[in-house]
Structure 1
């Protein structure tokens, strides 16, 4: 299938959006598939009235646009629903794990990974949030296996690795250079790239292309640091034994306060976007036989643009979830 129809989004009136990337949305046509994927995931992975369900519902109350409609403009229409399920699943996992002590979070990730292996058993881990998420992931794996797509096994293998590594480092980061590899890992970025390639039907060999890897790295830095930039005010107040945010890293690295560190982080993101535009120009000048690479790079730019726009506008980061009345009004 072809991607859903998409249209440009006017970002000129959104002062918080500082990215130079153009934004497109496929929400108008893709919304039924997106909503179904969200409903399946949120109601399959959370319990009524739970904090993680309220967080998930609140995540999708952005009047500026749905995060998936903004980010998946070049994904095949019949695969958008699966992308929604995987990404929303990981968002819920993150919401649950960030409230747990480090050691307990590592254990819960290990339990989740069982769903991706043939040794999966029917043990329910009653009373633990991980039980529902584990069952959901197992059913999703079985559903994907029926597609008989050879690239699916690689997709699930990459997810298994991501769940193993995403919250396995309890170190404090003192430099941005040291933090960035962790930020990409904690963002499940290798899996996200694999998922986008799968959803765009990009040949698996593209991941061996050095230009593709270079562009992926730059986009990973941009989306990870953009999330940190906009989520800092929310994250700094959360009750956790580990705050992972580039603002805090820059405060330590340069002995500055948060009001000085945020503009520094913004400049880093802007510089990474400059690198991305320069490399994209080189890629688009390549001969016609590099069409899959060009399409993938275009899709990655739209993914980064849509995600950045969502971060710049979403209530999750700009309207703290203390207004429970607003949460109760959230409709998917």
Structure 2
């Protein structure tokens, strides 16, 4: 779930940082310790980014230059140059929607954790956003984390709980209603699509899920894991980050690439979150690493290496599918932009996962400073 990625905030204020520089990171690790493959995805190679207007809001990052292991065929990661805007958005949103009563309020340390994570998610997964849409997406990620936190603690009456169906504005869900108005004002069409996806995920998040389950193969796990993780919701947020809306007919040729990117998002999250999950709740881990261990009767080390290879295979399929679409299937620029944005989100998700303190704290030698 989104909750798996909550990260503690840096104690250092970032308000004075140059927005052309990436956000400061404290940790970096590679759970599979594998050799980087050759680069693919030529459209996001460093030399091409500066020449394309689609990337004017993004900072290109070569992760090894920041001491971040990068065993992937994705040549770079992008980060929004407007991350300070995202920080302000998250702070302002929490001040607006959270109750002022100290006996009812969420502890400030937990709020700070969720703020920092929402900013990192938005900046790394939707870096093509203009400042206003990044502002809205940061608030969206933050509400998802706050909702998840309320559900996990059994506080279903919390003001941050998301309704299970998009409905006319009421006083029962003030945090959601505030965000809904903002999204629909920005873009009625894309906003409506995103709100429906948010409500669908919120409904699923409030259902009871098994803490451990036996799967006959990895595909069975993906059927369970993709909606629980929220992969489709993340891709709708990626779509919202772009200025030109796509119709269902526009997206028809993109379904295969969407499916590949959704799997990449989930399996990358599973790979990097496994050490933390296994240490916290070793008997109840529900994760692709554990599924591979159970299916193949192999060690954790072997399972993580196998999962890394599966992720690389997904990248090869993503690169081949993007190349096919670019050459013969996508005459419309908005379609091509969305195809690129999905792959950029996959790279950003890997950079986020590799630098996520919640994941990295349990890995020896991951601390950079």
**Superposition TM-score tier, normalisation by shorter sequence:** 0.7 to 0.9
Q: Give the TM-score normalised by the residue count of structure 2.
A: 0.71
For residues 165-221 of structure 1, the C-alpha deviation after alignment (integer angstroms, 9 at most, x for no partner) is 246362414232111122221122222222221220343315663431110110111
Which residue pairs with 2:144 in the alignment? 90
Q: Quick check: 242-251 or 42-51, which moved more?
A: 42-51
Greater percentage in helix: 1
Give unpaired runs (5+ residues) of structure 2.
Answer: 1-52, 100-104
CA spacing shift, 1:249–1:72, aligned 2, 3 Å: same
Q: CA deviation at 1:67?
A: 3.8
1:257 aligns with 2:307: no
- Aligned partner of residue 113 in structure 1, secondary structure: coil
Q: CA deviation at 1:148?
A: 5.9
- Cα distance in 2, alignment partners of residues 118 and 52 from structure 1: 30
CA spacing shift, 1:138–1:245, aligned 2, 3 Å: same
Q: CA deviation at 1:302?
A: 0.9
- Cα distance in 2, alignment partners of residues 187 and 109 from structure 1: 23
Which residue pairs with 1:113 in the alignment? 163
8 Å Cα contact 2:79-2:127 kept in structure 1: yes
Q: How many residues align?
A: 302
Q: CA deviation at 1:81?
A: 0.9
Superposed, which structure 2 residues align to 1:114-153 within 5 Å?
A: 116-118=166-168, 120-122=170-172, 134-147=173-186, 149-153=188-192
- Cα distance in 2, alignment partners of residues 94 and 35 from structure 1: 20
- Cα distance in 2, alignment partners of residues 288 and 119 from structure 1: 38
For residues 56-103 of structure 1, the C-alpha deviation after alignment (integer angstroms, 9 at most, x for no partner) is 256479xxxx44333223223321111111122223433454x45xxx
Which residue pairs with 1:55 in the alignment? 113
Q: What's the RMSD between the two structures over aligned residues?
A: 3.4
- Cα distance in 2, alignment partners of residues 18 and 95 from structure 1: 32
Superposed, which structure 2 residues align to 1:1-332 within 5 Å?
A: 4-13=56-65, 14=67, 16-28=69-81, 30-43=82-95, 44=97, 47=105, 49=107, 52-53=110-111, 55-56=113-114, 59=117, 66-97=120-151, 99-100=152-153, 112-113=162-163, 116-118=166-168, 120-122=170-172, 134-147=173-186, 149-166=188-205, 168=207, 170-171=209-210, 172-174=213-215, 175-206=217-248, 209-238=251-280, 242-286=284-328, 289-320=331-362
- Aligned partner of residue 252 in structure 1, secondary structure: helix
CA spacing shift, 1:8–1:121, aligned 2, 3 Å: closer
